[in-house]
Amino acid sequence: MLALGKKRSCIREIFEYSMRRKAEIGEENVFDFSLGNPSIPAPAAVTESLCELIKNMDSVSLHGYTSAAGDMAVRRKIAQNITDRFGFQADENLIYMTCGAAASLTVTLSAIAKKGDEVIVLSPYFPEYRVFIENAGATVKEVPCNSADFSLPVAALEKAINKNTRAIIINSPCNPTGVVFSEGSIIALGEMLRKKREELCTKITIIADEPYRELVYDGTFVPYIPNYYDDTVVCYSYSKSLSIPGERIGYIFVSPKMQGGSDVFAAVCGAGRSLGFVCAPSMWQRVAARCDGIKPDISAYDRNRRLLYGALTEIGFEAVNPDGAFYLFLKSPLADANEFCALARKHELLLVPSDDFGCGGYVRIAYCVDEKVIKRSLPAFKLLYEEIKNGRPS
């Protein structure tokens, strides 16, 4: 724990450099693309729900303990919305309210994985997956996404699965690539997993980590994985959809179609208790239920995405146009993304090298920033690109 506490997260280190640098040369002269902190305010419904609850609900009930899995009315509302929105018959008794996405993942992993188990992650992946999987005593197995477009590598997954494989984390829309896995690929994944389960006589659970579900562009369809594979646990968070990442509210949903699902749910309750999550914040549970399914106004992110992708590819950079989330995954023009980031920093561009995401040669650009930051940064990107192409890296 000491090593983990002392090891600075690369992203946070850049963020702290950014604070210092802004103080030195002025906020408007630093282009910080490091943090995935939503830059749009919470939808009006969030503030309205908060005010209505504070005004109308009895304090002891509003702020008191809920049952460990969450307030039953909240869970019922969420289950109903799942049924309505995704055409998947949900069950409130299999919904467990959590303190956000990280808690959803640590609780789920502690519930299903044990020492000796392998959990597959698709690289590039959110770096904390490794911390969470190892905390549950399991080991991480990285499988690279298809390199051309970061699509779902079904064939590579099939090769990687063995009798120790306990789960696969699927994160779509993906942090850091912004890619949404197509329905065809999810269907193929389900078929392959059913085949492997039978062949190996094991359980293989899909952990669908979906904090970016509502953040998609151009009407991209995000398949609801329980519709395609029965042994699925959905980990959801309201952080990004409602722009409330600091408030820590989300849920775990165990598919009612999962064999032994009620035991998995009981283990989720046990894991939550053991890790110290007594219940998810009670007032935020009720806000989440009232705002569940609200489509956030992501037009600002979409404008940023178009502007950034258009301008950077015109300059000459290569990137996959993101379907969702608020990240652009840019190919580094230098083989070493760390070297590229160091050069970029000289132009006050703060980018995150992809190495921590389990893949080299790229940078993550979080475009959940004010549009002005992007506009002002473009000349710096151009200079940076030309400097590299003209072979004058310092």
Contact status: 324 vs a copy of itself (CB under 8 A): no
* Cα 367 to Cα 375: distance, rounded to the nearest angstrom: 11
The residue (of 100 and 333) whose beta carbon lies closer to a copy of itself is 100
Burial of 381 (0-12, 13-18, 19+ CB in 10 A): buried
Q: Which listed residue (24, 26, 65, 392) binds a copy of itself by CB under 8 A?
A: 65
Contact status: 322 vs a copy of itself (CB under 8 A): no
The minimum distance between CB 22 and a copy of itself, in angstroms, equals 16
* Cα 341 to Cα 343: distance, rounded to the nearest angstrom: 5
> Binders of a copy of itself: how many residues, by CB under 8 A?
70
Contact status: 372 vs a copy of itself (CB under 8 A): no
The residue (of 4 and 23) whose beta carbon lies closer to a copy of itself is 4
Contacts of 181 (CB under 8 A, 6+ apart): 151, 152, 170, 172, 174, 223
Contact status: 243 vs a copy of itself (CB under 8 A): yes
Binding mask 87-126 for a copy of itself (x = CB under 8 A): ------------xx-xxxxxx--xx---------------
> Which residues from 161-200 bind a copy of itself, rule CB under 8 A?
none
Residue 211 DSSP code: T
* Cα 359 to Cα 59: distance, rounded to the nearest angstrom: 49
Contact status: 25 vs a copy of itself (CB under 8 A): no
Binding mask 260-279 for a copy of itself (x = CB under 8 A): ---x-xxxxxxx-xxxxxxx
> Which residues from 32-61 bind a copy of itself, rule CB under 8 A?
35, 37-42, 46-47, 50-51, 54, 58-60
Q: Which listed residue (33, 125, 132, 357) binds a copy of itself by CB under 8 A?
A: 132
Q: Which two tokens stand for residue 370?
A: 């004010």
* Cα 369 to Cα 35: distance, rounded to the nearest angstrom: 9
Contact status: 131 vs a copy of itself (CB under 8 A): yes
* Cα 156 to Cα 137: distance, rounded to the nearest angstrom: 24
In the numeric block, the tokens 């669908």 are attached to 208
Alpha helices, DSSP H, located in the chain: 2-6, 10-25, 44-56, 59-63, 72-86, 100-112, 128-135, 154-160, 183-200, 261-275, 282-291, 299-315, 337-346, 371-389
Q: How far is CA 243 from the centre of its chain?
A: 14
Binding site for a copy of itself (CB under 8 A): 1-7, 12, 35, 37-42, 46-47, 50-51, 54, 58-60, 62-66, 68, 99-100, 102-107, 110-111, 128, 131-132, 134-135, 243-248, 263, 265-271, 273-284
